[in-house]
Amino acid sequence: MIRLIGYFFGIGTTLALLVAAGLAIYIGHLTKDLPDYEVLAKYEPPVTTRIHASDGSLMAEYARERRLYLPIQAIPDRVKAAFMSAEDKNFYNHPGIDITGLGRAIIVNLQNFGSGRRQVGASTITQQVAKNFLLTSDQTYERKIKEMILAFRIEQAYSKDRILELYLNEIFFGFGAYGVAGAALTYFDKSVNELTVAEAAYLASLPKGPNNYHPFKHADRAIERRNWVIDQMVENGYVTREEGDKAKAEPLGVKPRRNGSYLFAGEYFTEEVRRQIIARYGENALYEGGLSVRTTLDPKIQLIARKAMQNGLLKYDTLRGYRGPVTHIDVSGDWGVPLGAVKGLEDVPEWTLAVVLDSSADGLTIGIQPARQVSGDLVKDRVEGTVSKDDMGFAMRHFVNGKSVRAKSPAEVLEPGDVIFVQKNEGSDNAYSLRQVPEVEGGLVAMDPHTGRVLAMVGGFSYAQSEFNRATQAMRQPGSSFKPIVYSAALDNGYTPASVIMDGPITIQSGNTTWTPKNYDGTAAGPATLRSGIEKSRNLMTVRLANDMGMKLIVEYAERFGVYDHLAPYLPMALGSGETTVMRMVSAYSIMANGGKSIKPSLIDRIQDRYGKTVFKQDERGCEGCNAAEWKNQPEPELVDNSEQVLDPMTAYQITSMMEGVVQRGTGATIAELGRHIAGKTGTTNDEKDAWFIGFTPNLVVGLYMGYDTPRGLGKGATGGGLAAPIFKDFMRVALDGTPNVDFQVPEGMKLIAINRKTGMRAAEGDPNTIIEAFKPGTGPADSYWVIGMGADGSNGAGGALSPQANQAIQDGGGGLY
């Protein structure tokens, strides 16, 4: 018997050794193919890029995986406790594998064998890190063994806190959220340190299967799983029984955070920043790099700009009548469902969609588009309202088959089923006014002239309707708003504001083509000073001035100011018939406001990488001594501005003073009502296709245009002074409120002399037609009367021949600018 026992023992030992050897060989084979766990030390997951306004307000987030990486020290203990209770309560005690949990799982799986139930796992947090970072999700024993081996190795190489940090920042929570910080924002719009016990427990329940515990599709199952996690937290001693019971009594409270743009009215600005980041660093940096971008946008100025521009577009549009409903739906049944499917304008929250339920001679009965609940379902309640005849007065002139028709009753304009935009009347519960999206569009830019920082940008009426940015992408003729560039070139090259030029008929002959430019009003004023020419925006004077200087000089200045990259040297271009953008024009005027120094328009102040290191800074000024270790009675450090001097500072003041005259008594006189020191210039392109105004104070430059996307006439008499200048005025009235009325600074050495505004000569004492004019040293009023552009025989002068390219320029916009 002893021999038999010894025999079997020997056989058993041999088999055990063979099995052990086989396992060793198998495991050795598996370990040869194991990934390098040391890559965890250099782990850089895709992280959300965040864009902020100048005051820190969040503008937008961009990510393929919405994740904000948090060090373990920044994650609250109750959040860590929730995840350990849900996934691995012995995390801080086991060596990577929880033997107790593994044994329990084996017993349960044996009991459930053949029952069809899903096998339970016993993966620790360390094993999940190994799987998520280094392995696939294949449900095989081979992968499980590799996972265990890696878990042991990871535990030996990294601290428990580091492993938990990797886990909490990597896991997927559903709704596109990765990592606990991203999940807290996505599900509850909170930072992790604001999460309650119930909220932390719900997030801890999601990694097992986010869709299984969807807060809206499977709310009961989600609450059940969350409450189980809370019970585990109580059992493990992380919260008291009372705290647990209170947490379990709470609803899920999920409030999904919307994606994309967050700062109201900043969509055009945000999109322009997005394009610039991609152009500078590429798409991967934007969507995975975790950049922190601080922009130049001033949210308060942006709101003012949006309101002024929208009001101006709406005022113009409503004067031209009503073009009809958005669409038509069936209202015989539940009108809320088809109305809910119509897309509105989410960035114009003052408006809402409505459907006409009844129309009569007195007005409309309307049904308001139902709101959507957090779950995405339409609110079941149906709200009705009214639109009186007076509140849709502009629509009495409406279009039928392309023709304008005058209606006597609202019933002639709209019928039941028509879907319309309405805006609730102030102080009323159910009274609304009819609205329509304007056809006319425009762009606006507000800029700090000393730094080039873009403070506000409006790219159109609604970004939701059209993402095309008319402030930076629309190429438009600037018309007479280009004239200050021409006059600056003249003042920089021997002319003075008192130089007299003939404002009279002129004809340019080129082969069989004849160009006869005209002033906007069709009249000629005769000899007048440069100041008078720009104040009254005289085309004939500008053409003669350009002809006298030569177009090559104007081309040089236009390109120096950044208005154009390559301007054709043809006389019609002096009247602004070349195409450029609002951004470029505002940048050019900023040079004048900045004493002639160049500026670089900027939408971004600073960009930091995921570690907080500054990788881009717009301000390139040097500052020696700014980072001194200590103060030793040294003078205060000064920022050194190395900007190029594009224009003589005295010339910059002269042209600014002349454009102050535009506002005080010229084509922009409506702005004088503000009682501010403002310089500016109107612009109206050929056939009234675009209306411009660009103006500035010593510290703020604002430019805008109004026009149809497919250029067509705005109507007879539509000018920059009548359409664009009022928008500028509305903006400045609010933007400058509460700020000092700062005057433009006269450069040292400049002479101020009283002249006769008609002759340009020194004014006699008591002359009622006197104006104070600025002259550079060595210059002054003429001693004798001299008119530039008048022939020796007293004729109005003539021009030379033009090239075929110039003929085309003439046809594209040669005359009639204002």
- Strands, E, within 23-91: which ranges? 49-52, 58-62
DSSP 97-111: S-HHHHHHHHHHHHH
List, in order, residues 6 or more apart from 52 with CB less than 8 Å away. Answer: 58, 59, 292, 293, 294, 295
* Structural tokens at position 650: 């005295």
Provide the 3-class DSSP secondary structure of residue 786. coil
* DSSP character at residue 815: S
- Would you give the distance in Å from CA 338 to the centre of its chain? 32
DSSP H stretches of helix in 472-538: 483-491, 530-535
Centre a 10 Å sphere on the Cβ of residue 585 and count the other Cβ atoms it contains.
29
Q: What is the dihedral of CA 20, 26, 31, 32, to 10 degrees?
A: 130
Written as one letter, the residue type at 32 is K
User: Left, alpha or beta for 766 (phi > 0: left; psi -120 to 50: alpha)?
Assistant: left
List, in order, residues 6 or more apart from 529 with CB less than 8 Å away. Answer: 497, 498, 499, 500, 501, 755, 757, 758, 760
* Structural tokens at position 676: 């501010």
Instruction: Find tokens 């999904």 and name the residue.
Output: 256
Pick the catalytic residue: 480, 481, 587, 643? 480
The CA distance from 583 to 160, in Å, is 54
Pick the catalytic residue: 61, 87, 147, 535? 87
The CA distance from 799 to 570, in Å, is 12
The CA distance from 518 to 814, in Å, is 9
In 647-661, which positions are buried (b, 16+ CB within 10 angstroms) versus exposed (e)? bbbbbbbbbbbbbbb
Closest CA to 815 of 573, 517, 525: 517
Centre a 10 Å sphere on the Cβ of residue 201 and count the other Cβ atoms it contains.
31
DSSP H stretches of helix in 52-114: 77-87, 99-111
The CA distance from 565 to 10, in Å, is 93
List, in order, residues 6 or more apart from 145 with CB less than 8 Å away. Answer: 27, 30
* Structural tokens at position 304: 């003012």
Q: Give catalytic status of residue 87 as yes or no.
A: yes
Give pairs for 235-243: CB < 8 Å, separation 24+: 235/85, 236/81, 236/84, 236/85, 236/89, 238/77, 238/78, 238/81, 238/82, 238/85, 239/78, 239/81, 239/197, 243/197
Q: What angle do CA 85, 87, 90 make, to 5 degrees?
A: 65
* DSSP character at residue 258: P
The CA distance from 38 to 653, in Å, is 65
The CA distance from 193 to 77, in Å, is 9
Provide the 3-class DSSP secondary structure of residue 314. helix
User: Left, alpha or beta for 282 (phi > 0: left; psi -120 to 50: alpha)?
Assistant: left
What is the β-pairing status of strands 431-435 and 383-388? parallel
Q: Give catalytic status of residue 577 as yes or no.
A: no
The CA distance from 534 to 268, in Å, is 33
Point out the residues that are catalytic. Answer: 87, 480
